[in-house]
Amino acid sequence: MQPTFPFAGRQYSYDPAAPIDISLPLKPGDDQVNCFWAEPVQFDTIRVGSFVGSVALGGSTNYQRIHVTPHGNGTHTECYGHISPDPAITLNQCLRRFLFVARLVSVAPAPQPNGDLVVMLADVQAALMAQPDRAIAEALVLRTLPNDAAKRQRHYSGTNPTYTEPALAEWLAENNVQHFLLDLPSVDREEDAGQLLAHHAFWQYPAQPRREATITELIFVPDEVEDGLYLLNIQITSLELDASPSKPVLYPLVPVQ
């Protein structure tokens, strides 16, 4: 018998042996996704005296140090500490649950008069209305179209990539959507004079900060994963920072008859 999870007054089953990983892995080198001029990920072998932290180089164990910038290297999850001056606001303190019901929607960004590509609230609402069960979930997973596999290795810095309309972030907050996941480097424009309108709208900061709400950027949802209802597991490292490399995982939810 498969486990079940409640949502909107119904029970849904899911298969824990069939996870869908929508994260992008971290590895050294330039052939992985990168944004906001972050340095590439680095793995360094530790050397202490005669010890070398590499079995391939004759050491007894592999022992490495990593250099990573969460906001610029790979899939990452962030809390409102990202836009707060308080260093005590960390993702590890804000994210205390890890399982949520999520809706996956696929939306094409709309060209703007200035040439920008923006994901609009109306288009997301239309995609949600097209799903059989229209109840709003705790999380929204956004796949932008076209779903180019090059998203896995794209270098976004200086390209003014697609971003989201602040009204979308405001609507998510108003409807108590706690977690927003998307395959873009940011919910906001790459260069916006530091306004970060969508970040502020989603977290309702500084007026009424939504402490438990998170944004996860630079995911990748394969084409074969259909729009619909999922159980979402957000996995993070226990870093006391505003953001962490993360591993969001989806499990299709099926209504229990």
228 pairs with which residues across the strands? 104
Check residue 171 and give its pLDDT: 98
The predicted model scores a pTM of 0.97
Per-residue pLDDT at 180 exceeds 80: yes
pLDDT surpassing 80 at residue 257: no
Query: What is the pLDDT, as a whole number, of residue 133?
Result: 80
Whole-angstrom distance, CA of residue 184 vs CA of residue 32: 14
- Predicted confidence (pLDDT) at residue 117 exceeds the cutoff of 90: yes
Question: How far apart are the C-alpha atoms of 251 and 164, rounded to whole Å?
Answer: 26
- Give one word for 86, left, alpha or beta, with left for phi > 0 and alpha for psi -120 to 50: beta
d(CA 92, CA 209): 16
CA dihedral 143, 148, 151, 157 (to 10 degrees): -100
Q: What is the pLDDT of the chain when averaged over all its residues?
A: 97
What tens digit of pLDDT does each residue of 31-55 get?
Answer: 999 999 999 999 999 999 999 999 9
Q: How confident is the model at residue 63 (pLDDT cuts 50, 70, 90)?
A: very high
What local confidence, expressed as pLDDT, does residue 1 receive? 77
Model confidence over 73-95: pLDDT tens digits?
999 999 999 999 999 999 999 99
pLDDT at res. 47: 98
Q: What is 19-24+72-255's CATH number? A: 3.50.30.50
128-155, pLDDT tens digit by residue? 999 988 789 999 999 999 999 999 999 9
Interatomic CA distance for residues 29 and 182, integer angstroms = 23
pLDDT in tens, 216-245: 999 999 999 999 999 999 999 999 999 999
Distances 67 to 59, 70, 74, 156, 179 between C-alpha atoms, Å: 21, 10, 13, 19, 27
Please report the pLDDT score of residue 8 as a whole number.
92
